């Protein structure tokens, strides 16, 4: 994506209300020329100049000598005030005081997403993060090609998954599942990285604007991507993203990048260890289950062998005694056949009660033996 970069605009930074009005007029001239619009990252970037005190005066002013709509001047001043105070010193009081004037503007959900994620004021953690995520979704609808907006949404999802164990984001009775949000966050932060300005998108090989970016560097984008991929158990891709994060430090934000990188690197390592432990535990459980099945199958086989030999011995003993006691060969044969068939049916039925062996082949074999036992009994009776 081509980022409209005009370094000279920073040569004379505004120090009073009149200069700030002139500065904002330049930005709207760029907008009129078609270089960007109020929803573009350039609009946030150029308004990241340190003008907090001047911006407050301008928002409250009722007299402006300008050809630009006064509401646009106040809106630009509001963005400059918010970005500087929130990004540099973490103050949101002025934002909360003036935000109601700009709720219809395209970037408003972006600032709401950022505000609820940072302040956690007045609501539970779950409520703030849920609100932040939903505002991020709305911001993307309005400003889908703004890498600040995409980053903030992905950051909200990252923090939500990290801090809340069991949650759902509810909107109009519809829940946004964690898996759905995670997939979208990965897609959006990947898109943000592609949109992020590089030297090739800046005229004359000047330094890319990320050195003045109001709190987001491409290194931080890669850091967020790393943890999101780790949440998906894609640790190879997560480590690749961490490598890219370390390679893309923005010099002016090195300390902030280093802190975020350190935190996320530890989280990725922790997630990978948990994943490996879960895998090892799962493998141990499977081995234990296989071992228990093997032991039980061995016990079942031993019982069957004992029963088989007991049956053979019983048949031999009964056959001998029947032969001696029978009045004729035919009577002895009948008794032996009936006894053998009954014994076969009994042992087959007993085999069906043994655990861990009720597979299809085993059932067919024992049903066959029961049928054979029944035939022997029938033959003995009819003989």
Directed axis angle between helix 147-163 and helix 178-195, to 10°? 150
pLDDT of residue 211: 44
Cα gap 184→163, rounded to integer Å? 18
Cα gap 87→38, rounded to integer Å? 20
Residue with the larger pLDDT of the pair 24 and 301: 24
Residue 142's pLDDT band, with cuts at 50, 70 and 90, is very high
Residues 6 or more apart whose CB falls under 8 angstroms from that of 48 comprise: 80, 83, 84, 87, 212, 213, 214
Cα gap 148→144, rounded to integer Å? 10
pLDDT of residue 351: 62
Cα gap 198→213, rounded to integer Å? 12
Share of the chain above pLDDT 90, in %: 16
pLDDT of residue 208: 47
Q: Exposed/middle/buried for 134, CB within 10 Å: 0-12, 13-18, 19+?
A: buried
The pTM for the full model equals 0.69
Cα gap 93→52, rounded to integer Å? 12
The whole-number average pLDDT for the span 139-162 is 92
The domain locations on the chain are 1-105, 326-382
Q: What is the pLDDT of residues 21-67, one digit of tens each?
A: 888 888 999 999 998 999 999 899 888 876 767 788 788 877 777 77
Q: Exposed/middle/buried for 89, CB within 10 Å: 0-12, 13-18, 19+?
A: exposed
pLDDT of residue 205: 44
SS3 annotation, 146-160:
CHHHHHHHHHHHHHH
pLDDT of residue 370: 72
Structure tokens at 311: 């049956």
Contact between residue 303 and residue 350 where contact means Cβ atoms under 8 Å apart:
no
Number of continuous H segments (helices) and E segments (strands) in the chain: 14, 2
State how far the alpha carbon of 228 is from the alpha carbons of 4, 148, 154, 177, in Å: 30, 17, 8, 15
Residue 206's pLDDT band, with cuts at 50, 70 and 90, is very low
Displacement of CA 106 from its chain's centroid (Å):
28
Residue 284's pLDDT band, with cuts at 50, 70 and 90, is confident
């Amino acid at each position: 994506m081509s980022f409209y970069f005009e370094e000279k605009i920073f040569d004379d930074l505004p120090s009073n209300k009149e200069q700030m009005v002139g500065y904002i007029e330049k930005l709207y001239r760029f907008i009129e020329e078609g270089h960007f619009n109020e929803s573009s990252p350039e609009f946030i970037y150029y308004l990241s100049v340190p003008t907090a005190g001047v911006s407050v005066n301008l928002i409250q002013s009722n007299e402006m000598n300008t050809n630009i709509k006064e509401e646009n001047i106040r809106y630009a001043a509001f963005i400059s005030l918010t970005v500087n105070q929130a990004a540099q010193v973490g103050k949101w009081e002025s934002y909360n005081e003036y935000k109601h004037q700009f709720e219809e503007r395209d970037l408003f959900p972006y600032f709401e997403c950022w505000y609820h994620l940072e302040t956690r004021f007045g609501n539970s953690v779950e409520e703030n993060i849920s609100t932040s995520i939903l505002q991020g979704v709305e911001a993307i609808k309005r400003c889908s090609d703004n890498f600040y907006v995409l980053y903030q949404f992905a950051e909200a999802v990252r923090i939500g998954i990290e801090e809340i164990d069991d949650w759902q984001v509810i909107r109009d009775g519809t829940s946004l599942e964690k898996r759905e949000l995670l997939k979208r966050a990965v897609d959006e932060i990947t898109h943000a990285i592609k949109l992020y300005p590089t030297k090739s998108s800046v005229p004359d090989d000047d330094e890319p604007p990320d050195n003045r970016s109001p709190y987001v560097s491409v290194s931080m984008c890669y850091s967020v991507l790393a943890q999101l991929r780790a949440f998906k158990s894609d640790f190879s891709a997560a480590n690749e993203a961490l490598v890219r994060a370390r390679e893309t430090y923005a010099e002016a934000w090195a300390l902030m990048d280093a802190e975020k990188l350190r935190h996320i690197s530890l989280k990725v390592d922790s997630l990978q260890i948990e994943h490996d432990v879960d895998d090892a535990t799962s493998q141990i459980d499977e081995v234990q289950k296989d071992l228990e099945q093997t032991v039980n199958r061995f016990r079942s086989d031993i019982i069957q062998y004992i029963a088989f030999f007991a049956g053979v011995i019983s048949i031999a003993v009964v056959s001998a005694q029947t032969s001696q006691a029978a009045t004729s060969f035919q009577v002895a044969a009948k008794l032996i056949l009936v006894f053998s068939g009954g014994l076969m049916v009994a042992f087959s039925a007993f085999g069906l009660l043994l655990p861990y062996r009720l597979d299809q082949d085993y059932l067919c074999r024992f049903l066959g033996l029961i049928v054979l036992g029944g035939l022997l009994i029938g033959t003995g009776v009819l003989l």
